[in-house]
Chains A and B, each alone.
Chain A
């Protein structure tokens, strides 16, 4: 479904060029929930934002389905983006619009007619269990409800892919759980491919099939999540798996060093 080949991205800053992604190669199957983990600044957001070209890659290619995203002109890219939903850590809802207005936005932008928009928004709001909130403004919703609106907006155009950049990091554990359930449910029901960045071990373990580990802009490990936990190869994966064991006291923690407090801090932040 998604194939990334030799992707590079650097940022030019006043103090010089920062290489954010180096020679990224990745394949994600249709219908899977693919995780991306790594410490802060590793390049996770940059990678996922290259997939819908919110960031322009320097070189390399990205293919989603039959479309070579990296070849598209501005106008074609806009059409392609309708099939690539995205959700954000800070939700990024429109305060000026009701829940209905937020979810209708992509459909209006795509030129759908009013009855069609009303029908679709109704269906999607039911799917995310917000049927009764259509007339509310975002400020009247809880964090979890806001993210449900974010998900509904991302799904409005019936995308094939959903990109999630730490979508649960601003939520408490219980709400996180319900949002993950929702994503897993949507993944099953709609056959949606999900690419999901996370800091949280639980997220990875609960819903991701495969995951890539990023360290300093490079993919250092790409394996089924079970393997990442039981036989981590990279430093990052070892620390993540170690921390997970440390807190859950299960699995093969005996083989792993207990993480230092500051490492735990970094993961849990």
Chain B
């Protein structure tokens, strides 16, 4: 074990957390918008617009069918446009956000669809409008499922971050490639793997904890 290990791993961890955090925020915003739009514009939805629904759904399927590593390459010009470079964590955040948003959109769509039609009709029957229904009924009723879905998505973003490291994003993924693969530094390789496992565990544990506490408050005997 050499003395540079701690410094390198610390720097990698910092960059990874930075990428995961910001990509998650942007992907969540975009994905939430997509997911809600998919649910409310569906046939029989509270803002039914089957045309819009079809277009968004097809676009999501399109982006999702592109392998992530290729998507990053495709999005390089966009990264350059937004952050001025195609290298480093900031550039990766652009690709990661856009790559993960469609996945999040589907996850959020699924969570929101679990909310029974009866509840939405009850809200309609007292004169609630579409935005009240989205904010006061759909989202709160689906909250535990939303949290569980978002946990899965943020973990996927963590994995994608490591993949992005392979093509210049920095972070733990890049350390693993540069030192573990190219320079046979097994200590660093193992270090990155351990740190990534740790991040994933903490994310999963926090997500489960939050979802469970919401459920426990609502369903005390269940």
- Given A90-B118, A96-B143, A105-B136: A78 touches B220 (CB 8 Å cut-off): no
Q: Is B222 an interface residue (CB 8 A)?
A: yes
The answer to whether A52 touches B125, judged by C-beta atoms less than 8 angstroms apart, is yes
Shortest CB–CB separation between residue B148 and chain A, in angstroms?
A: 15
- How would residues 51 to 71 of chain A score, 1 for a CB under 8 Å from any chain B CB and 0 otherwise? 010100000000000000000
Q: Is A246 an interface residue (CB 8 A)?
A: no
The answer to whether A94 touches B140, judged by C-beta atoms less than 8 angstroms apart, is yes
Cα distance A93–B143 when bound, in Å? 16
The answer to whether A96 touches B121, judged by C-beta atoms less than 8 angstroms apart, is no
Chain A residue numbers with a CB within 8 Å of B136 are 105, 108-109
8 Å CB interface, B121-147 against A: 121-129, 132, 136-137, 140-141, 143
The contact of A92 among B118, B128, B219, B221, by CB within 8 Å, is B118
From A19-27, A80-88, A114-122, A248-256, the one touching the partner chain is: A80-88
Cα distance A82–B136 when bound, in Å? 17
Chain A residue numbers with a CB within 8 Å of B125 are 52, 54, 81, 84-86, 154, 163
The answer to whether B116 touches A97, judged by C-beta atoms less than 8 angstroms apart, is no
Chain B residue numbers with a CB within 8 Å of A52 are 125
Return the chain A residue nearest B133 by Cβ.
A109
Chain A residue numbers with a CB within 8 Å of B129 are 78, 109
Q: Is A110 an interface residue (CB 8 A)?
A: yes
The answer to whether B220 touches A54, judged by C-beta atoms less than 8 angstroms apart, is no
The contact of A96 among B128, B132, B218, by CB within 8 Å, is B218
Shortest CB–CB separation between residue B166 and chain A, in angstroms?
A: 42
Chain A residue numbers with a CB within 8 Å of B124 are 54, 81
Cα distance A54–B124 when bound, in Å? 8
The answer to whether B126 touches A157, judged by C-beta atoms less than 8 angstroms apart, is yes
Q: Is the interface of B mostly helix, strand, loop or mixed?
A: helix
Q: Is A259 an interface residue (CB 8 A)?
A: no
8 Å CB interface, A144-176 against B: 150, 153-154, 156-157, 163
The answer to whether A153 touches B126, judged by C-beta atoms less than 8 angstroms apart, is yes
Chain B residue numbers with a CB within 8 Å of A154 are 125-126
Q: What are 29 sample pairs from A and B whose C-beta atoms fall under 8 A apart?
A: A52-B125, A54-B124, A54-B125, A78-B128, A80-B127, A81-B126, A84-B125, A86-B122, A86-B125, A86-B126, A92-B116, A92-B119, A92-B122, A94-B137, A95-B219, A96-B141, A105-B123, A105-B128, A105-B136, A106-B127, A109-B126, A109-B127, A109-B128, A109-B132, A137-B217, A137-B219, A137-B220, A139-B219, A156-B126
Q: A92-B116, A153-B126 are in contact. List 19 more A-B contacts (CB 8 A).
A: A54-B121, A79-B127, A80-B127, A81-B126, A86-B125, A88-B122, A94-B122, A95-B141, A95-B218, A96-B143, A96-B218, A105-B123, A106-B126, A106-B128, A108-B132, A109-B126, A109-B128, A109-B136, A153-B122
Query: Which residues of chain A have a CB within 8 Å of any CB of chain B?
Result: 52, 54, 78-82, 84-86, 88, 90, 92-97, 105-106, 108-110, 137, 139-140, 150, 153-154, 156-157, 163
